[in-house]
A and B are shown apart, each in its own frame.
Chain A
Amino acid sequence: MGNTDYVLFAAGVITVICFYAMNTMALNLKTGVGGVIDFGVVAYVAVGGYVYVLCTNAPPPPGAVWHIGLGLPLWVGFIAAPIAAGLFGLIIGWPGLRLMRGDAIAVTTYAAAEVVRALATNEAYVTNGVVGFHNLPQPFREQFENPKAYSYFFMALSILSVVIIYLLLNRLHWGPFGRSLKALRENEEVALSIGKNPMRFRLWAFVIGSAIAGFSGAMFVTYQTICVPELFVLTVTFTVWIAYVVGGTGTDRRRRDRSGP
């Protein structure tokens, strides 16, 4: 095993770290800043991943089990994934956030993740069931002769998206939106008295967090070049949670996870 193999492996690990870093930052927005316990991280990742695949996949060949493949350019998929995941977060978050009961939200999000996986496994006419999708196209793949060079490129792409999301979230945290959220978290009555609507702010935090998770899902399936229900198991949620707890709850520092591919 040559030196380059280790470097290549490290590139893969860094790509996965970036995936978890995006999700952990999203979770930090929801839970750390917004105070909403979310146990369904993997649900938004799955929605993002599948929407990306459905948008970008070529139309199904005759006789295929699945029926949807829009064949749009890849960048459309990368935009559609966060939008769909954000909408999904809106639907999932609304019933629990309306009451703002921590346990209720934890239970609904946890259950939602299970439902998403059940849907992905069983609604084969959309998701191709347990077989899923393979050989997904990767952005700018044709520019690279060497598959190894491409993994470095993809690593750089992942790091770039983490940095962009970090900067965006940083602005959000320190801007009026983040300050209102933190005020709501620390003392809801005081925040209410100056006219902050807790439901609206928390729901926005939830939707933005879900959208980021959806984007990371699109990146994840692109990196794996497959999209199967087995990718979106509960372990992903709890790995993100471990990263979140290890990083220190409720702080604004970035969190990362050390698990490999």
Chain B
Amino acid sequence: MLYLQYLVFGLVTGCILLMGSVGFSMIQRLDNFMNLTHGMMIALAAFLAWFLYTTVKLPLLVAAVIVIIFIAAFTWAQYKVVFSPIRKAGATMLLFTSVGLSFMINGAMEGIFGATPKSINIGMPRQFFIGDQPILSSIDLIIIILAIVCAVGLHLFLTRTRMGIAVRAMSSQFDLARVRGINTESVAAVVWAIAGALAAVAGILYGLKGTVYTDMGWTIILLVLSAATVGGMGSVYGVMVGSLIIGVIMDMSVIWINPAYRPAMAFVVIILMLLLRPQGIFGGGRSRG
């Protein structure tokens, strides 16, 4: 019974992580670099949701929509202003720029919202029971449904729409896609906006499930990176499975190991993965030197 409960916890954690890391993976596939700012976007979304819900006192759903639109616009602007102009400088420079941007956003968040941890208080959610054990709350159910909707929606977007097919073409052969007349610049900008929107959803859910603190961006990006490693760098479907695996392993490890090491378990998974199956579960993505 205990195991089942932790398994469900893990799946819920994994579902939130899924929405957080899919966007990261798409950007990585497209622009060929690790965008560490993605973690900060998740943290910023959590803070904004807290601010709009607790301080401005908007209804939760309205607050969520505003946050999603804002973060999507913000990542879009990031791409246009910061990352697109320096794309030619190479993956290391792009990675480092994203680190610098993360520090700027981190500092700004700490300055504006203060360093004390916050939580979004939405009251006790309804619990679902199996026998007399609480197994799932209504929030958990919403998270799982949202994750499934995200995954299916993204799949349909990538396979059924012209834009999605253009994204996949650019991911596998950037120059060829441009020669064939795909407007690479605008497609990339759309991908960044979608990634931002997904990050915002993940951030709001993180806020609802736990506390909101300024350094959460750094903790979350570690989990996102490990999900990406487990799934195979840059593979969108791999990263979904990777997120669920990381979530389950992290939460089930609590049964045997000190809970303080919960994030550290992600590291163990990365190392095992690199030793046993370095190309990731699905082995997607381009290999880089």
Q: B224-240 CB contact bits vs A (8 Å, 1 = yes)?
A: 01101100010000000
Contact call B264/A115, Cβ cutoff below 8 A: yes
Contact call B34/A111, Cβ cutoff below 8 A: no
Contact call B263/A103, Cβ cutoff below 8 A: no
Least distance between A97 CB and chain B CB atoms (Å): 10
B157 adjacent to chain A (CB < 8 Å): no
Identity of the chain A residue whose Cβ is nearest the Cβ of B268 in the assembled complex: A115
Least distance between A58 CB and chain B CB atoms (Å): 28
Binding site for B on A (CB under 8 A): 35, 37, 95-96, 98-104, 106-108, 110-112, 114-115, 118-119, 121-122, 188, 234, 238, 241-242, 245, 249
Give the distance in Å from the alpha carbon of A101 to the alpha carbon of B287 in the complex. Answer: 8
Least distance between A175 CB and chain B CB atoms (Å): 25
Least distance between A25 CB and chain B CB atoms (Å): 18
Give the distance in Å from the alpha carbon of A102 to the alpha carbon of B225 in the complex. Answer: 13
B103 adjacent to chain A (CB < 8 Å): yes
Q: Which of B114-122, B139-147, B201-209, B269-277 contacts A (4 or more CB under 8 A)?
A: B269-277
Contact call B288/A102, Cβ cutoff below 8 A: yes
Least distance between A141 CB and chain B CB atoms (Å): 35
Identity of the chain A residue whose Cβ is nearest the Cβ of B278 in the assembled complex: A99
Chain B interface mostly: helix
Give the distance in Å from the alpha carbon of A111 to the alpha carbon of B223 in the complex. Answer: 9
Q: Top 5 closest A-B pairs, CB basis?
A: A111-B267, A95-B274, A115-B264, A122-B260, A107-B225
Contact call A96/B274, Cβ cutoff below 8 A: yes
Give the distance in Å from the alpha carbon of A242 to the alpha carbon of B97 in the complex. Answer: 10
Identity of the chain A residue whose Cβ is nearest the Cβ of B228 in the assembled complex: A107
Identity of the chain A residue whose Cβ is nearest the Cβ of B32 in the assembled complex: A103
Contact call B267/A122, Cβ cutoff below 8 A: no
B92 adjacent to chain A (CB < 8 Å): yes
A-B contact pairs, 19 of them (CB 8 A): A95-B274, A95-B275, A100-B289, A102-B288, A103-B34, A104-B274, A106-B95, A107-B225, A107-B226, A108-B270, A108-B271, A111-B225, A111-B270, A121-B260, A122-B258, A122-B260, A188-B289, A234-B218, A245-B93
